[in-house]
Amino acid sequence: MSAPTFSVVPEHVAIIMDGNGRWANARGLPRTMGHRKGVEAVRETVRAAGDIGIKYLTLFAFSSENWRRPETEVSDLLGLLKAFIRRDLAELHRQNVRIRVIGDRDNLRGDILPLLLEAEETTRSNTALTLVIAFNYGSRDEIARAFTSLAKDVEAGRLRPQDISPELVGARLDTAGIPDPDLIIRTSGEERLSNFLLWQAAYSEFMFMPEFWPDFSRDLFFAALEKYAARDRRFGGLSAKPAAAVGS
């Protein structure tokens, strides 16, 4: 299926994939079915992002707060992530997709960390779309870890406090080397970031969509990109677009 042409294509799109449970509840299905249907939406979105020429796609797969959910649901979520990597890694590799994982890697249990590391290592040299998986990720935790790293350098005499800059902080974040997201999409109608990319979202465009994540489709993604192309991004400066005539 051919992809449409947009006047502006964001380099980096980040998505908060929300609404799996509510999608299932609305259909009288167990929440696990919503998560499973959500994986299908992930596959379609990754393909669409590659087709349109997006360079970075970040997906909020599992937050550091998700561990508070019932153990059965946590196990199912982890199982789906592992199944996705095992099933799709070879195909993503063939498509020249690079996988990056952001989030706290300490104390990850079982075989999930080795699997994530394998996905990163296998695709390290790929040069098309970079698929960033936010796993065990919380932005406040990420920022705190970055400042802890900087504080250790100050304590060791390798860095002066007055030399700490936004650029130095950014270089210690999990997303070091990844451009800030141009567009952040959240599904399910909720309008908040929920501890996702707080530092990186300083000048991002936001789009809150009413559809639950399992219903997110290629067409909905392209519709969001079309709206993004019409946005006037000023980054704190003046508009680059000509002002509309009075009465127009």
Q: What digits encode the pLDDT tens for the residues 181-238?
A: 999 999 999 999 999 999 999 999 999 999 999 999 999 999 999 999 999 877 666 5
Whole-number pLDDT of residue 83: 85
Within a domain: residue 150? no
Whole-number pLDDT of residue 101: 95
Residue pair 14/197 in contact (Cβ under 8 Å)? The answer is yes
What is the mean pLDDT of the segment spanning 102-128? 90
Q: Is the pLDDT of residue 142 over 90?
A: yes
Share of the chain above pLDDT 70, in %: 93
The residues assigned a catalytic role are 18, 66
Distance separating alpha carbons of residues 96 and 98, to the nearest angstrom: 6
Q: For residue 22, give both structure tokens.
A: 């509510």
Backbone angles phi, psi at 60, to 5 degrees: -80, 90
Domain containing residue 109 = 12-138+183-229
Whole-number pLDDT of residue 80: 85
Whole-number pLDDT of residue 66: 87
Within a domain: residue 63? yes
Average confidence score pLDDT of the chain: 92
Q: Is the pLDDT of residue 24 over 90?
A: yes
* 204, 209, 224, 246 from 231: Cα distances, Å: 11, 16, 11, 20
Q: How far is C-alpha 110 from the geometric centre of its chain's CA atoms?
A: 24
pLDDT digit string, tens, across residues 65-81 = 888 888 888 888 888 88
Please report, for the domain that includes residue 87, its CATH number: 3.40.1180.10
Work out how many domains the chain is built from and give that number: 1
